[in-house]
Amino acid sequence: MTQLEVHQFPCLSDNYGFLIHDPIKEVTAAIDTPEVPAINRALEEKGWRLTHILNTHHHPDHAGGNLELKEQWQCTIVGARDDAQRIPGIDIKVADGEIYQFGNQAARVFDVSGHTLGHIAYYFPDASKLFCGDALFALGCGRLFEGSPAQMWQSLQKLIALPDDTSVYCGHEYTQANAAFALSVEPQNSELQQRVKAIDALRADNLPTVPTTIGMEKATNPFLRPMSPDLQSNLHMTGADLVEVFAETRHRKDNF
Ligand code: ZN
Ligand code: FE
């Protein structure tokens, strides 16, 4: 069993930075580049040299530090082939279904467009870890800035298919606000009620609610639950097409 060490740290107001490290091949990647000084502090703390950047999407709070870090570390930048022109300094272009070999670790690439077009996620099956940027959040999903509800639902279905014990490292600490919305659309969900208590306790101590797991999200995240009879009933959409239920859920969150 190979190892993949993850170091997580807060960046900007509510982003997370992640460093992933393969101790055998001695490679270290930043998952996105929200804040250069925070990333450099994290590298120093761990005693790691930055060899790679794995970008999920083009937004400045995810790719804004690319060029400065590349200049400093001569690292290799990996990003979406479908959005290569918006990923600063991109060296290696990857696409849905491809495997990117990071040290001893294989990363499967998923296109999870919707928040942006050309948004990708990196799944490390041997380590049971998913880095999904702003596609899926704890109890939420990314706003649809560029894609359609149908496209986002298709993207999220790829993530739902992963094993329940997969750790999900998302790009932001939005969980408490997401929890309030989730309770408003599926108040009957007892697992959700329990989870919100746990989230409130963590946040009261300023602790992260990330990573989450695929199993936890499937049980409690309304954006993964358009098939829930309670959710459908609460939206007055019993029996409706799942894309329509997802779209209505997203629409309500945008106005929550
Ligand atoms: Zn974003
Ligand atoms: Fe973001």
User: Which CATH number is 203's domain given?
Assistant: 3.60.15.10
CA 249 / ligand 2 centre spacing (Å): 20
pLDDT confidence bin for 3, thresholds 50/70/90:
confident
User: Is 152's pLDDT higher than 90?
Assistant: yes
* Amino acid identity at 2: T
- Domain containing 87 equals 5-254
Q: Is 59 a catalytic residue?
A: yes
Note the pLDDT of residue 2: 62
pTM above 0.95, yes or no: yes
- Catalytically annotated residue among 57, 83, 111, 119: 57
236 is annotated as an active-site residue: no
What ligand is nearest to the CA atom of residue 116? 1
Q: Give the tokens for residue 223.
A: 């954006």
Please report how the helices 149-160 and 242-254 are oriented relative to each other, as an axis angle in degrees rounded to 10: 110
Residues 6+ apart with CB under 8 A from 149: 114, 243, 246, 247, 250
> Prior bond to 163 cis, omega within 30?
no
Among residues 21, 52, 58, 62, the one annotated as catalytic is: 62
Please give the mean pLDDT across all residues of the chain.
Answer: 98
Starting from the CA of residue 117, give the closest ligand: 1
Q: How many domains does the chain have?
A: 1
| pLDDT digit string, tens, across residues 135-147 | 999 999 999 999 9
Give the residue-averaged pLDDT of 142-160.
98
Catalytic site residue 58?
no
pLDDT digits (tens, 9 = 90+) for 31-73: 999 999 999 999 999 999 999 999 999 999 999 999 999 999 9
134 in catalytic set: yes
Task: Tell me, in angstroms, the distance from the centre of ligand 2 to residue 74's CA.
Answer: 24
205 included as an active-site residue:
no
Q: Which residues surround ligand 2, an ion (CB under 5 A)?
A: 61, 134, 171
